[in-house]
């Protein structure tokens, strides 16, 4: 796609699972790019329903300990070692972005615009997806690797209690990130002709 930085960034973002906590980017810079993403990513009716918590260092490790303990209670013992390997790999990173959607905002819209009531949860879901992509790509541009995880709703209550978060914040996804230890694997692409129609 030529040397347009935006297109390169979209292509360069990948799921990176092998990460460590080497501070190749400062916490301040990560805060800056995440604030920028949250501020500028669109939302339905400009409702700005996204909520984000970024955990660094020991707080990040705590999340993956909570997730490990939660899974240990439900995953059969014979499968747990591969689960544990994954948890340790995420915990080895630099931090985790937690994505939430504030249900108080979504419900407020449903009351205000009854005609679209069924759509607001769907649009909330669309807009968090957009934000996840913007943050994932922004972390990539800064040289960090990240992946997208979904241990909600299993960990929702523990996360809310641990970090004293409002009851209306619904956990949507977790994005562990860090210094890249190993690149992403090969990726298959379906033919674009089957997926896109240009109609002239
Ligand atoms: C909506 C969505 C949900 C995903 N959920 C997970 C997940 O729970 N765990 C995981 O490891 N990867 C998850 N992924 C990552 C995809 O598997 C990955 O993006 C896809 O295989 C393409 O690879 P790439 O990210 O390296 O381009 C998810 C991606 C999307 C867009």
Tell me the domain boundaries of the chain: 23-178
Task: For residue 7, give every residue at least 6 positions away whose Cβ sits within 8 Å of its Cβ, in sequence order, or none.
Answer: 1
pLDDT reported for residue 61: 98
Spacing, Cα 111 to ligand 1 middle (Å): 34
Q: Is 14 in the pocket of ligand 1 (CB under 6 A)?
A: yes
Helices (H), 100-186: 103-112, 119-141, 156-162
Spacing, Cα 16 to ligand 1 middle (Å): 10
What's the CATH number for 23-178?
3.40.109.10
Spacing, Cα 14 to ligand 1 middle (Å): 9
pLDDT reported for residue 1: 46
Q: Supply the residue whose CA is at minimum distance from atom 2 of ligand 1.
A: 148
Q: Residue 184 to residues 18, 42, 116, 178: CA-CA distances in angstroms?
A: 9, 28, 40, 13
Q: Residue 15 to residues 138, 144, 148: CA-CA distances in angstroms?
A: 13, 11, 7
Query: Rounded distance, CA 184 to CA 11, Å?
Result: 12
How do the pLDDT tens digits run along the chain, 200 residues long? 445 699 999 999 999 999 999 999 999 999 999 999 999 999 999 999 999 999 999 999 999 999 999 999 999 999 999 999 999 999 999 999 999 999 999 999 999 999 999 999 999 999 999 999 999 999 999 999 999 999 999 999 999 999 999 999 999 999 999 999 999 999 999 999 999 999 99
The 10 Å CB-count burial string (b at 16+, else e) for 161-178 is eeeebeebbbbbbbbbbb
pLDDT reported for residue 3: 54
Identify which of 148, 151, 174 to mutate to test ligand 1's pocket (most ligand atoms within 8 A of the CB): 148
Q: Is 79 in the pocket of ligand 1 (CB under 6 A)?
A: no
Spacing, Cα 200 to ligand 1 middle (Å): 33
Spacing, Cα 129 to ligand 1 middle (Å): 11
pLDDT reported for residue 2: 47
> Is pTM beyond 0.95 here?
yes
Q: Supply the residue whose CA is at minimum distance from atom 16 of ligand 1.
A: 15
- Ligand 1 atom closest to Cα of residue 17: 11
């Amino acid at each position: 796609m030529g040397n347009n930085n935006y297109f390169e960034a979209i292509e360069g973002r990948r799921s990176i699972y092998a990460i460590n906590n080497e501070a190749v980017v400062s916490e301040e810079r990560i805060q800056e790019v995440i604030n920028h993403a949250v501020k500028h990513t669109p939302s339905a009716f400009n409702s700005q329903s996204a909520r984000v918590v970024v955990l660094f260092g020991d707080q990040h490790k705590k999340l993956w300990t909570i997730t490990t303990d939660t899974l240990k209670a439900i995953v059969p013992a014979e499968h747990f070692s591969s689960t544990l390997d994954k948890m340790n790999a995420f915990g080895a990173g630099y931090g985790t972005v937690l994505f939430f959607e504030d249900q108080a905002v979504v419900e407020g819209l449903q009351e205000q615009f009854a005609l679209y009531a069924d759509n607001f949860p769907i649009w909330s879901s669309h807009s968090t997806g957009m934000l996840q992509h913007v943050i994932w790509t922004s972390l990539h541009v800064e040289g960090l690797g990240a992946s997208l995880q979904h241990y909600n709703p299993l960990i929702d209550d523990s996360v809310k209690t641990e970090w004293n978060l409002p009851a209306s914040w619904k956990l949507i996804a977790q994005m562990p990130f860090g210094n890249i230890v190993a690149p992403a694997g090969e990726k298959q692409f379906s033919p674009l002709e089957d997926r896109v129609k240009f109609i002239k």
